[in-house]
Structure 1
Amino acid sequence: MVPLHELLLFAGAALLMVLAPGPNMIYLVSRSACQGRRAGVVSLAGVVTGFLVHMLAAALGLTALFLAVPFAYEALKWAGAGYLAYLAWQAVKPGAVSPLALRELPWDPPGKLFLMGFLTNVLNPKIAVFYLSIFPQFVSPRHGSLFAQSLQLGATQIVVSFTVNLCIVLSAARFAAWLARSPGWLAAQRYVMGSVLAGMAVQLLSEQRKAA
Structure 2
Amino acid sequence: MLDLTQVFSYSVALGIAAAVPGPGMAALVARSVSGGAISGFFLLLGLILGDLIYLSFAVFGLAMIAEHFNALFDVVRWGAALYLCYLAWQFWFANHQAIEMEKSAKKRELLSAALSGLTITLGNPKTIAFYLAILPLVIDLKGVSLQTWAVMLAPLTVLVLLSVGALFIVAAVRVRRWLSSPRAQQNLFRGAATIMVVAAASMLRH
Q: TM class by shorter-chain length?
A: 0.5 to 0.7
Output the aligned Cα RMSD: 3.2
* Alpha-carbon distance in 1 for matches of 2:121, 2:160: 15
Aligned with 1:135: secondary structure?
Answer: helix
Number of residues paired by the alignment? 144
Give the aligned partner of residue 209 of structure 1: none
Aligned equivalent of 2:29: 29
* 8 A Cα contact 2:49 2:118, kept in partner: yes
SS at match of 1:21: coil
Q: Which residue is equivalent to 1:164?
A: 164
In the alignment, the residues of structure 2 paired with residue 30 and residue 57 of structure 1 have an alpha-carbon distance, to the nearest angstrom, of 29
Equivalent-residue separation in structure 2 for 1:147 and 1:136 (angstroms): 16
Using the alignment, how far apart are the partners of 1:150 and 1:40 within structure 2? 27
Aligned 8 A contact 2:52 2:157 in 1: no
Q: Which residue of 2 aligns with 1:135?
A: 135
Shift of 1:140: 2.8
* Displacement after TM superposition at 1:139 (Å): 3.2
- Percent identity of paired positions between Structure 1 and Structure 2: 27
Q: Give CA-to-partner distance per residue, 1:26-59, whole Å, 9 cap, x none.
A: 0000111112111111111211221221122122
The list of structure 1 runs, each at least 4 consecutive aligned residues, that deviate by more than 6 angstroms after superposition, is none
Structure 1 spans left out of the alignment, 5+ residues: 67-71, 73-101, 180-212
1:145 to partner: Cα distance: 3.9
CA shift in 2, pair 1:178/1:4, >3 Å: farther
1:1-212 alignment, distance < 5 Å: 1-62=1-62, 65=64, 109-140=109-140, 144-151=143-150, 152-175=152-175
Displacement after TM superposition at 1:105 (Å): 5.2
TM-score by length of 1: 0.57
Query: Kindly tell me: are residues 140 and 39 of structure 1, through their superposed partners in 2, closer, same or farther at Cα, counting changes over 3 Å?
Result: closer
Task: Return the letter of the residue paired with 1:4.
Answer: L
Gap regions ≥5 residues in structure 2: 68-90, 96-104, 180-206
SS in 2 for 1:110: helix
Q: Could you say if the C-alpha distance between residues 145 and 49 of structure 1 is closer, same or farther in structure 2, counting changes exceeding 3 Å?
A: closer
- The verdict on how the C-alpha distance between 1:62 and 1:148 changes in structure 2, with shifts beyond 3 A counting, is farther
TM-score by length of 2: 0.58
